[in-house]
A and B are shown apart, each in its own frame.
Chain A
Amino acid sequence: MVTANTELAYNTKIEGDIVVTKADAVINWLRSSSVWPMPMGLACCAIELMGAAAARFDIARFGAEVFRFSPRQADCMIVAGTVTYKMAPHVRRIYDQMAEPKWVIAMGACASSGGMYRSYATLQGVDQIVPVDVYISGCPPRPEALLDALIKLQSKIGAERSAKTLFASA
Chain B
Amino acid sequence: MTATADVTAALQSKFSQVTPRPSGDHPAINLPASEVLAVLKYLRDELAYDFLVDITAVDWGVEATPRFTVIWHLLSTTDHQYVRLAMDCASNSEPVAPTATGLWPAANWHERETYDLLGVKFAEHPDLRRILMWDGYPYHPLRKDFPLAGIEVPLPDIEVADLTGASAKPAPMMGGPFVASTGEMNLTDAEPRAKDESWTEFREKPASE
Where the two chains meet, the residues of A that have a C-beta atom closer than 8 Å to any C-beta of B are 85-86, 88-89, 92-93, 114, 116-124, 128-130
Contact = CB atoms under 8 A, between A and B. Distances in A.
By secondary structure, the B interface counts as loop
Interface string B166-181: 1011111110111000
Contacts, number: 66
Contacts of B146: 120
Given A124-B169, A128-B166, A129-B166, A118 B149 contact: yes
Interface residues of B, number: 30
Contacts of B149: 118-120
B133 A116 contact: no
Chain A binding surface SS class: loop
Contacts of A129: 160, 164, 166
A85 B150 CA distance: 12
Interface of B: 132-134, 141, 146-151, 155-157, 159-161, 163-164, 166, 168-174, 176-178, 192
A85 B171 CA distance: 12
A88 B156 CA distance: 9
A120 B160 contact: no
Contact of B178 (A89, A116, A120): A116
Nearest to B153: A85
